[in-house]
Copies of this chain bind each other. A is one copy, B any other.
Amino acid sequence: MSHFTGHHILSVNQFEREAIEKIFTVAHSMEPYARRQKRTSVLTGAILGNLFFEPSTRTRVSFGTAFNLLGGEVRETTGMSNSALAKGESLYDTARVLSGYSDIIAMRHPQAGSVKEFAEGSRVPVINGGDGANEHPTQALLDLYTIQRELEYNGKGIDGLHIAMIGDLRYGRTVHSLSKLLCLYKNIHFTLISPAELAMPDNVIAAIENAGHRLTVTDHIDGMVDADICYQTRIQEERFPSQDEANKYRGRFRLNQTIYTRHFQSKTVIMHPLPRDSRTEANELDNDLNSNPNLAIFRQTDNGVLVRMALFAITLGVEHLVSKYEHDVVWYTNKS
């Protein structure tokens, strides 16, 4: 068992570099199970409370799948209408009650700070699956894990990397959290590309500078020839004051194969937190990139399962037992 066993995972701020490396080592060891080369029953009998008070299909299913892949069961809730919260129940009470129904909880809630408040009442470990505009630590971890894995194939590590972040850096929660995690590493070059109105918030800029990293702020994609990572984002339309305001920026930073070839080196890895907006007027990441081997966006979501498996295993103190409860996979698969 590690010092994370039994603890909540609420924020990227709670991690030291050593902890992240531990998580990533465990995540990597989960690959054979996710790829169906074998299966494990280490958590058979354990129950995940997958509490999505705000709907989010893919994050919810990803958590559930990760728990199933370890052999555990999942009890779920989606949405908040008709819930006890609507009858005036406090988050503390909800947490006391629902934590009696599972061994661990993954929770998403529309209100910033709510997951932390819930965790204070919970009798089992809580993993934050997104609390409004505040935090979504498992997304940041899967992004960073993807960076590490992709660069490894290129013979590099995270230290010394050059990352270009593009688009809505103001409302895009994922670029904030990823930047904070990168502050734990050495000698990073950040190129932040956005319209001035959608610039990275000051506190993130300050964190990058305090960590001694190199920072380039610009509003155009140029001279990216030595970027290792191109992290493209979606305009977070739902967080803008109005649709008109959001429309101003739609399609402002598009990436397609032609633009990629002109501005980036041939091995620059393309990332995106997904979903990408593929409607003509937005189209921030063109489908013509789908055949580009450096498009890592679906490897990102696959890695999300590995990272969530790792967090469950570590939090429940079974990371060293996973292979002990290993079995053959007897059904057809083309994932391995």
> Is A97 at the interface (CB under 8 A from chain B)?
yes
Contacts A61-B101, A65-B75, A102-B65 given; does A298 touch B96 at CB 8 Å: yes
Contact of A277 among B60, B75, B83, B88 (CB under 8 A): B88
- Chain A residues 17-75 with CB under 8 Å of chain B are 36, 39-47, 49, 54-58, 60-62, 64-65, 68-69, 71, 73-75
CB <8 Å contact, A73 and B68: yes
- Chain A residues 201-252 with CB under 8 Å of chain B are 234, 237-238
- Measured as residues with beta carbon below 8 angstroms from the partner, the interface class of chain A is 35 or more
CB <8 Å contact, B278 and A89: yes
Contact of A97 among B81, B103, B274 (CB under 8 A): B274
CB <8 Å contact, A84 and B331: no
> Is A90 at the interface (CB under 8 A from chain B)?
yes
What residues of B have a CB within 8 angstroms of the CB of A293 in the complex? Answer: none
Distance A61 CA – B48 CA, assembled complex (angstroms): 11
What residues of B have a CB within 8 angstroms of the CB of A69 in the complex? Answer: 45, 47
What residues of B have a CB within 8 angstroms of the CB of A282 in the complex? Answer: 88
CB <8 Å contact, A84 and B274: yes
CB <8 Å contact, A88 and B275: yes
Find the B residue at minimum CB distance from A280.
B88
Copies of the chain in the assembly: 3
Can you list 15 A-B contacts with CB-CB less than 8 angstroms, sorted by A residue number?
A: A1-B332, A42-B330, A46-B331, A57-B84, A64-B75, A68-B75, A84-B274, A88-B275, A90-B287, A93-B274, A93-B276, A96-B301, A97-B274, A124-B335, A316-B332
Distance A96 CA – B300 CA, assembled complex (angstroms): 11
Nearest Cβ on chain B to A292's Cβ, whole angstroms: 14
Task: Given contact pairs A61-B101, A96-B298, enumerate 18 new A-B contacts (beta carbons under 8 Å).
Answer: A40-B45, A47-B68, A55-B83, A58-B98, A64-B75, A68-B73, A68-B75, A73-B74, A88-B282, A90-B278, A90-B287, A92-B290, A93-B274, A94-B275, A97-B274, A100-B305, A124-B334, A325-B330
Q: Which 9 A-B pairs have the closest CB atoms?
A: A39-B45, A84-B275, A88-B277, A89-B275, A317-B332, A316-B331, A55-B82, A65-B101, A88-B279
Nearest Cβ on chain B to A114's Cβ, whole angstroms: 15
> Is A254 at the interface (CB under 8 A from chain B)?
no
Distance A290 CA – B278 CA, assembled complex (angstroms): 51
Nearest Cβ on chain B to A100's Cβ, whole angstroms: 5
Contacts A89-B278, A92-B287, A278-B88 given; does A56 touch B68 at CB 8 Å: no
What residues of B have a CB within 8 angstroms of the CB of A335 in the complex? Answer: 123-124
Distance A116 CA – B44 CA, assembled complex (angstroms): 35
Find the B residue at minimum CB distance from A94.
B275
> Is A323 at the interface (CB under 8 A from chain B)?
no
> Is A132 at the interface (CB under 8 A from chain B)?
no
Find the B residue at minimum CB distance from A236.
B87
What residues of B have a CB within 8 angstroms of the CB of A88 in the complex? Answer: 275-279, 282
> Is A333 at the interface (CB under 8 A from chain B)?
yes
> Is A5 at the interface (CB under 8 A from chain B)?
yes
CB <8 Å contact, B331 and A318: yes
What residues of B have a CB within 8 angstroms of the CB of A332 in the complex? Answer: 1, 5-6, 315-318
CB <8 Å contact, B331 and A87: no
What residues of B have a CB within 8 angstroms of the CB of A55 in the complex? Answer: 81-83
